[in-house]
Chain A
Amino acid sequence: MSTSRALSYNFSKKIKNVLRSERALAYLFLLPTLIMIFAFVIIPAIWGLWVSFTPLSLVGKYAMKYDFIGLKNYIKLISDADFYNSIKISFIFTILSALIGQAFLGLMLALVMREKAIKGKSIVAITVFLAWIIPEVVAGYMWGVFASREGMMNTLLALLGMPPRNWLYDLPLETIIIANIWRGTAFSMILFMAALEGIPHYIYEAAEIDGASWWQRFRYIILPMMAYVILVDFILITIWTFNVFTMIFVMTGGGPGNATELWTIFVYRRAFQPPYEVGYASAAANLMFLIVFLIILSYIYVSKKLRWYG
């Protein structure tokens, strides 16, 4: 008895010694990562902050001119109707396509996927996943063609008696919202499916025996037990949708005019299309990043609770 205790004491001492001597070296393991992130993310971000205080452009009078002009770019932004337009479009896009479209459809799908008696549901799940995993550019190409005047969307809607239209010109914002619901619903569906699996079956059965209706079970069992998961889903898809660039850029390029110019496309167009006002575009990017950052902070706060609860 006493020998084994001495032995285990020796073991733990040995481990502690090894730990102490090699601890410093272990931090070296983190060094390459930190250098990479500093060099290619943090320093550029700081550079971008600096650029936003200059009149820098890629060509012309202000090419490579890093003169400090204070908050001029930011002041100009506040009175830029196009910037307001892009913020408005981003918010509408995010609220309708992510918070209402993806989350709601994802929850409905997850609930249906739970029903054992329903056949063919895995085929539906696979198509929903496919939309999510194919490269974003392919999704943009498909939707750009699908929603055009000659496209298949009109063929399908004709079955319901709707006249053909050029969706990307007549209802551009509505169309990109629908396209993004198509693209992103899978994530909410998977997350909700995992969460539903975590609810023990006996709770369900007990409620059923007590005569709880479908709605009551949903309202008083599923919804409260999934509250945190739903909240985390809301925050994540809000961030992702707010940051969407590629699919919409490929579909519409921000047009017609600026009808689908999300803030990311606004920044891209100002910086990389004539007159290449990178200083001004940086100011817009930084301002919008501030909004994204606040949402990320709320995510860090909420996800900690999820980790504890899940």
Chain B
Amino acid sequence: MKIHNIVYYVLAYIFLIVVAIFFSAPFVWLILSAFDPMASPHFRIPSEVTFRWFAGIFKPISQYYQMTPFSWIINSAIISVSVATLSTMLSIIGAYPLTRFQFRGQQVLLNIFVTLRLLPVIVIVIPITLIFARFGLLNTYLGLIVVMSALVLPFNLLIAEGYFKALPKEYEEAAMVDGLSRWEAFFKITLRLALPGIVTIWLLSFVVAWGDFLLPLVILRDPWKYPAAVGIYYWFGVYGRVEYGRISAFSILYSIPAILVFLLTRKYLMKGIYGLVSR
């Protein structure tokens, strides 16, 4: 019995070590190369630490271009904040009737949202390009923001619906009995109770928009308009000589908001994963 246990633990540790090396190795290279004055694809411990690559985020990407990598981060922020705010607002007011009333076709509607949440974006991308070309929305943030919002909406709605359902109706009903109208009760009581949920929805939709690649890739044409995701691809893929140090430093900066959002929503993701999954 005891030997059996020891064997089990040794195997578990070996497994964990192999997994840890596999998962951390690409990160190790990314971080080392961002601080290495001689950054290259090679793995090497830098002989000295440089912050040149991080400073380079604020310098033009080449002598032919005025834009800096940092301007791509600003673009990402403008796009993601707009998408998150628009889609969160719409999903909150939209989720309310879904949870407080029963109506015909409700289940069908929810199933449509589930389907849309899992839709491969590439199916929409071609007609969106054609339609946008026709209406002059190609290469505009307005076009990009509304499409992205429409695509994260089903995801937001399903989370919002789960949140509202979990809130006790009694507070709202008590407020209504006390003379508040339904809308006053909704705005003054329910929204306040749901505030942590609303923040979570905003953060999650922000991070979805922050990482989105395919839509800005086909909708935006001018490199100076790119968000960071397309910027990195453009920089890494299309460029002649790859500046590993600067791209790595930029990748780290670009990843930080996503990591922060994860830390802030960790509890919800862990506990609420059933809710996320069963819808």
Binding site for B on A (CB under 8 A): 11, 14-15, 18-19, 22-23, 26-27, 29-30, 32-34, 36-37, 39-41, 43-45, 47-48, 51, 56, 105, 108-109, 112, 115, 117-118, 120-121, 123-124, 127-131, 133-138, 140-146, 148, 150-153, 155-156, 182, 190-191, 193-194, 214, 232-233, 236, 239-240, 242-243, 245-246, 249-250, 253, 264, 267-268, 271-272, 278, 281-282, 285-286, 288-289, 292-293, 296, 299-300, 303-304, 306-307, 310
Contact = CB atoms under 8 A, between A and B. Distances in A.
Interface in B204-251: 207, 210-211, 213-214, 218, 228-230, 232-233, 236-237, 244, 247, 251
Contacts of A56: 130
Contacts of A32: 90, 93-94
A285 B273 CA distance: 30
Contacts of B41: 145, 148, 150-152
Interface in B2-51: 8-9, 12-13, 15-16, 19-30, 40-43
Contacts of A120: 16
B278 interface: yes
Nearest to B236: A141
B91 interface: yes
A-B pairs, top 4 by smallest CB distance, nearest first, are A40-B150, A33-B94, A47-B127, A152-B43
Interface stretch (B54-62, B63-71, B193-201, B254-262): B254-262
A182 to B, nearest CB: 6
A310 B276 CA distance: 12
Contact of A300 (B9, B111, B255): B111
A48 B124 contact: yes
A191 B210 CA distance: 24
A34 B96 CA distance: 14
Contacts of A40: 124, 128, 146-147, 150-151
Interface string B99-129: 0110100000001001110111111111111
17 contacts: A14-B177, A15-B173, A15-B177, A26-B100, A29-B93, A30-B94, A34-B94, A128-B23, A138-B255, A145-B29, A152-B29, A191-B277, A243-B121, A282-B127, A289-B123, A306-B277, A307-B279
Interface residues of B, number: 94
Given A138-B251, A232-B277, A242-B120, 14 more contacts: A19-B101, A26-B100, A27-B103, A41-B116, A51-B127, A112-B15, A128-B23, A130-B259, A134-B255, A141-B251, A142-B251, A145-B244, A245-B213, A285-B126
B166 interface: no
A22 B176 CA distance: 12
Interface of B: 8-9, 12-13, 15-16, 19-30, 40-43, 90-91, 93-94, 96-98, 100-101, 103, 111, 114-116, 118-131, 146-147, 149-151, 153-154, 157, 173, 176-177, 181-183, 207, 210-211, 213-214, 218, 228-230, 232-233, 236-237, 244, 247, 251, 254-255, 258-259, 261-262, 269-271, 273-274, 277-279
Nearest to B86: A36
Nearest to A281: B126
Contacts, number: 274
Nearest to A31: B94
Nearest to B92: A29
A157 to B, nearest CB: 11
Nearest to A151: B41
Contacts of A43: 131
A137 B229 contact: yes
Contacts of A253: 237
